[in-house]
């Protein structure tokens, strides 16, 4: 009997699919409609579009309005109302992603994965305990903050370039360098051990800088839009090189590739048909260009409209990795694998967007409610192409962005033009109650 049980167990193992490598591309400040797969026509993104076409495009993939909060949500599977990371972590700020938070890298490392980050961290560096190699990543290459010079790697007069969390002098364009490191990691990765490679590119974030050769195809464009086109083309080239490295290593068929913007694009990015830009909880600030690709596992040529949030990748990936979701802090994310692979409904009855406790939104089905109880948040200096105003770290919004209560039917009105709050009082009451439920244990917001 024991031998039969052993044979059955061995057969189960033999038939089980190997745990996937995971490569997560997080593109900084990418507009919803800047890539071809989401309707863009001005910028050439052939490698990105090829991956999107061979996978599933996620039309309602929600993130946070700015970068650090999105990264915190991805790394923890928890809303910003629980992590407290509502805003951007500034250089040398005495805070970061709270140390009690278990990260996605922690969970995947515990599951036996090699864990690496090449790109922008942006979740704290004032103390060693906040650095990537203290938060579950075995390898780190790149920078801690945004808005660094792409060629000198200097931010606010200080070098911001590290390898395994040690200062590094390295010449080259930052997009090229993080790609080069990613290719090295893939090439040297043992075949019998899965890899989690997190690639938060700094492109296409300001300052608008790119080698001149990337501008040549865009003679019809001018100014910052032309620079953005070249920067995105460089990112697309890098993604193509990473995919080629996976193919050369014989790992492409067993690699799940995920792609998302970290927030809506600021000008000169394009979020058509969505309203507004980065720094906003209108759709143009919190709905990201995104897709998932895994040959033979994720349907090709599929566009999903079911809503999800970047917090959902934490439980989804840990389950795929065979890891444990037992932890002290509860997850807000849900497993979206059945939704993506079997067209199951969204696992959420509601999705929260929070710019602060004073400016929040909830999506339920096709409906979205925005409740604004305070003054509009100002767009930080990292939120758009940098202003030329000396000594001013913020670009103030003109007029009031949000009405106290706003209700939109996103299926009929994706551009959020018509506020239906006065016509739907019962729906507003129901959604307000749900929003209050989601925020009942929220961490207070405020600039740290």
Q: Residues with catalytic annotation?
A: 67, 122
With a CB cutoff of 8 Å and minimum separation 6, the contacts of 365 are none
Phi first, then psi, for residue 200 (nearest 5°) are -85, 85
Pairing of strands 61-62, 154-155: unpaired
345 class by beta-carbon count within 10 Å (0-12 exposed, 13-18 middle, 19+ buried)? exposed
3-state SS assignment for residue 6:
helix
Pairing of strands 405-409, 166-167: unpaired
Cα 311 to the center of its chain, rounded Å: 9
**Sheet containing 308-309: order of strands:** 287-288, 61-62, 308-309
Task: Measure CA of the first residue to CA of the last residue in the chain; give whole Å.
Answer: 64
240 class by beta-carbon count within 10 Å (0-12 exposed, 13-18 middle, 19+ buried)? middle
3-state SS assignment for residue 258:
strand
Nearest to 205 by CA among 244, 262, 163: 262
**What separation in angstroms does the CA of 316 have from each of 70, 108, 313?**
17, 11, 5
Residue whose tokens read 């792409």: 150
Residue whose tokens read 């193919």: 247
97/298 Cα distance (integer angstroms) = 32
Pair of tokens at residue 195:
């890899």
Nearest to 46 by CA among 335, 241, 279: 241
Write out the E strands in 9-159.
Answer: 21-27, 56-58, 61-62, 114-120, 139-143, 154-155, 158-159
Phi first, then psi, for residue 119 (nearest 5°) are 140, -145
Nearest to 445 by CA among 79, 67, 77: 79
Nearest to 355 by CA among 333, 376, 336: 376
30/72 Cα distance (integer angstroms) = 18
């Amino acid at each position: 009997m024991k031998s039969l049980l052993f044979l059955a167990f061995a057969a189960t193992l033999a038939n089980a699919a190997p745990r996937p490598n995971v490569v997560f591309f997080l593109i900084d400040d990418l507009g919803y409609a800047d890539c071809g797969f989401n309707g863009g026509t001005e910028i050439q993104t052939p490698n990105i579009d090829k991956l999107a076409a061979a996978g599933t495009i996620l039309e309602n993939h929600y993130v946070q309005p700015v970068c650090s909060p999105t990264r915190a949500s991805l790394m923890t599977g928890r809303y910003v109302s629980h992590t407290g990371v509502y805003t951007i972590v500034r250089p040398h700020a005495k805070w970061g992603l709270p140390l009690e938070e278990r990260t996605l890298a922690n969970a995947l490392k515990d599951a036996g994965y090699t864990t690496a980050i090449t790109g922008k961290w942006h979740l704290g560096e004032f103390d060693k305990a906040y650095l990537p190699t203290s938060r579950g990543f075995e390898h780190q290459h790149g920078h801690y903050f945004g808005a660094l010079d792409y060629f000198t790697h200097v931010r606010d007069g200080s070098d911001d370039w590290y390898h395994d969390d040690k200062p590094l002098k390295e010449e080259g364009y930052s997009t090229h360098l993080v790609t080069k490191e990613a290719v090295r990691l893939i090439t040297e990765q043992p075949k019998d051990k899965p890899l989690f490679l997190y690639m938060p590119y700094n492109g296409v974030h300001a300052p608008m800088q790119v080698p001149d050769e990337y501008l040549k195809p865009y003679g019809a464009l001018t100014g910052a839009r032309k620079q953005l086109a070249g920067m995105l083309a460089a990112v697309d080239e890098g993604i193509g090189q990473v995919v080629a490295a996976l193919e050369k290593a014989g790992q492409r068929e067993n690699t799940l590739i995920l792609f998302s913007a970290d927030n809506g694009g600021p000008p000169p990015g394009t979020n058509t048909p969505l309203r507004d830009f980065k720094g906003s909880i209108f759709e143009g600030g919190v709905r990201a260009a995104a897709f998932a690709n895994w040959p033979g596992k994720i349907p090709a040529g599929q566009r999903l409209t079911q809503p999800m949030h970047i917090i959902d990748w934490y439980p989804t990936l840990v389950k795929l990795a065979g890891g444990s979701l037992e932890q002290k802090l509860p997850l807000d994310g849900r497993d979206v694998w059945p939704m993506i692979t079997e067209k199951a409904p969204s696992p959420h009855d509601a999705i929260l967007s929070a710019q602060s406790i004073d400016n929040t939104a909830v999506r339920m089905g096709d409906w979205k409610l925005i409740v604004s109880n305070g003054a509009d948040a100002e767009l930080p200096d990292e939120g758009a192409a940098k202003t030329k105003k000396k000594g001013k770290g913020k670009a103030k919004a003109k007029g009031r962005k949000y009405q106290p209560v706003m209700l939109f039917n996103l299926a009929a009105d994706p551009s959020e033009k018509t506020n239906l709050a006065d016509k739907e009082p019962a729906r507003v009451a129901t959604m307000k109650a749900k929003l209050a439920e989601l925020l009942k244990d929220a961490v207070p917001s405020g600039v740290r």
